[in-house]
Structure 1
Amino acid sequence: MYALGIDIGGTKTAIGLVTTTGDVVGYDKLPTDQTIEPTKMIERIIVHVKTLLEKHRIDDNQLYGIGIGAPGPLDISHGMITYPPNLPRWRNVPVVKLMSAYFSVPIRLENDASCAAVAEHSFGASQHYTDSLYVTISTGIGAGIISKNTLISGGKGNAGDVGHMVIDPSFGECVCGQYGCFEHICSGTAISREASKLKGTSISTEEAFRLYEAQDKDMVPYLDTVIERMGMALVSLINSLDPEIVVIGGGVSQVGDTLFEPIRHYVKRYTLNKDAGDTPIVPAKLNQEAGIIGAAALVSPEI
């Protein structure tokens, strides 16, 4: 038996056929075309799903279901993608209903960060823990929360939307209208934006960290502050959620110990419960496949 995972993103949509051991045995992807109506994009996804299943000779009897991960906000009780900032045309899109017209298996929608949290919990960095927090720091920032081996979704599926937790209003206005959001300060998008302003030319997040490691006079004080703000956010999350482990994924996490060591040092110093200062803070193991593996795990009773 298999489960199918779909990870809908702002630039691409990934589709994976996943075994109960978390192995991706079939994979496809397509651009997320934001110039067309969401219903047309979903039709394209359906065609790719059918093609992938036919290629591997999988029928509905061999499929536990289809899990879908998507950026929030969502309304998972109605299977709807409601108002994601990075999918500006996707407003109250009944993705589960639209797909159910073509497939007879169970279909479940969850936040993409929650899917990644499930994947890491089932097969990755947090699989030996009952309570874990997954934080993705990439184009945006989000989180997935596992408590007592159970995904915490919240009322409509938006638990873990930590990117819009205010940590320092002095950094200015976020796209959400608040000042000083975690995402506005610490996401890859934010780092690239501010580094480019500092250097007067287009700078990627990766380039910004290379300059930081080379002791660039502009980048060192700037990224020292950003990394400290990441530490502040994680202290608040650890104080609030009391996880046994924190897993950090997303593109920014690829920086490695340059990022992780100062964050661990900050957390050790400032968590309210001093025992929590030793909470492991580790990089994700599954990276790019986490979204589809976690989405598939949502509908697989054996995971």
Structure 2
Amino acid sequence: MTLSYAVGIDIGGTKTAIGFVDDGGEVLAKTTLPTDRTVPPSAMVDRIAAAVKQLAADAGVAESAARGIGIGAPGPINTRLGQIVKPPNLPEWWGFPVVESLKRHYGHLPIFFENDATAAALAEKWLGAARDAEDFVYITISTGIGAGIYSGGRLITGATGNAGDVGHFVIDPAAGTCVCGQQGCWEWIASGTAIARQAGELLGRPVSSREVFELSFSGQDDRMKELVNQVFRYIGIGCVTLINTLDPELVVIGGGVSQVGAALFEAVTDYVATYALNPSGRNTPIVPAALRQDAGLIGAAALVHVTYR
């Protein structure tokens, strides 16, 4: 295969996705590895490199056709130093120089490294719901909450690559202590993890966020309905904060919680229409992400392809 491609690597707390993505955004080949936290991160990088080589062999893709490698990882990170700094769900990787470690295997290729939400925002600009937007915010609501910011026609990444860590906006200080130590962070009260935790406390048993939505929408449990409505309100509050701060033309919401569908988007749109400060901000479209499957891979690969466009 002579078509050039980018290697996308999406590092997560439980699994790492690896794939080859061409310059049209098509995933040519992909695989996943468990993110083994019982071994040093450098050993995990060795496994990733071996998986890239095996994937190329299996797919009949020339390694020499790779334009570069893009890495997306949960923050906090430091893109200047190429380090995974302190992600709560990967404590074994704190302070790990992931770019330098990967260069042991691919020193001849350019390696791009960004927060995973930032990479996903770039993917939505490249191929997804934000293709026509020059100012937008991409929000992912899943295990946690994060954002990628695209403003004035470019990504806003901050001094160390951590712009958009919006999950730690304080939304409701009365809602308990977040894992970061602050009171009532957005992630603590409105992420998928938060929904399951709060529902479990009400029901007295473990419960998934998917079950919470099912109980709410079916009318089987008024407590779940009240909880879901409160979560939608919290998501609306966060969106209004971002709209008031950044004045985007579009807000894109992705991640597992976004897949609940129209009920979420209608509730958030109504909240924004009521409470955004600027009258034009009240009309900001709130839309679902277009890239769900392989979004992490495509986002990581976009770091390479969009750079060379």
- Name the TM-score, length of structure 1 as normaliser: 0.97
1:18 and 2:30 aligned: no
1:253 and 2:235 aligned: no
Q: 1:61 aligns with which of 60, 64, 82?
A: 64
Q: What number of residue pairs does the alignment pair up? A: 303
Amino acid at match of 1:142: G
Q: Which has the higher contact order (CA 8 A, sep 6+)?
A: 1
1:80-229 alignment, distance < 5 Å? 80-103=83-106, 104-215=108-219, 216-229=221-234
Q: CA deviation digits over 1:184-223, x for unaligned, max 9?
A: 0000000001111111121110110111112222112222
How many angstroms apart in 1 are the aligned matches of 2:98 and 2:55? 19
Q: CA deviation at 1:59?
A: 3.8
Asked whether the equivalents of residues 2 and 17 of structure 1 are also in contact (C-alpha less than 8 Å), the reply is yes
How many angstroms apart in 2 are the aligned matches of 1:80 and 1:178? 25
Amino acid at match of 2:180: C
Gaps of 5+ in 1: none
Q: CA deviation digits over 1:225-270, x for unaligned, max 9?
A: 1211111110000111111111101100010012111110000111
How many angstroms apart in 2 are the aligned matches of 1:41 and 1:91? 14
- Name the TM-score, length of structure 2 as normaliser: 0.95
Counterpart of 1:297 in structure 2 is: 302
Q: CA deviation at 1:288?
A: 3.0
Amino acid at match of 1:138: S
How many angstroms apart in 2 are the aligned matches of 1:249 and 1:266? 18
Amino acid at match of 1:64: R
Structure 2 vs 1, CA of residues 295 and 70 (structure 1 numbering), >3 Å: closer, same or farther? same
SS of equivalent to 1:129 = coil
How many angstroms apart in 2 are the aligned matches of 1:71 and 1:190? 18
SS of equivalent to 2:280 = helix
How many angstroms apart in 1 are the aligned matches of 2:264 and 2:82? 36
How many angstroms apart in 2 are the aligned matches of 1:13 and 1:239? 35
Asked whether the equivalents of residues 6 and 16 of structure 1 are also in contact (C-alpha less than 8 Å), the reply is yes
Q: CA deviation at 1:149?
A: 2.5
How many angstroms apart in 2 are the aligned matches of 1:211 and 1:79? 44
The RMSD of aligned alpha carbons is 1.1
1:271 and 2:276 aligned: yes
How many angstroms apart in 1 are the aligned matches of 2:271 and 2:47? 46
Gaps of 5+ in 2: none
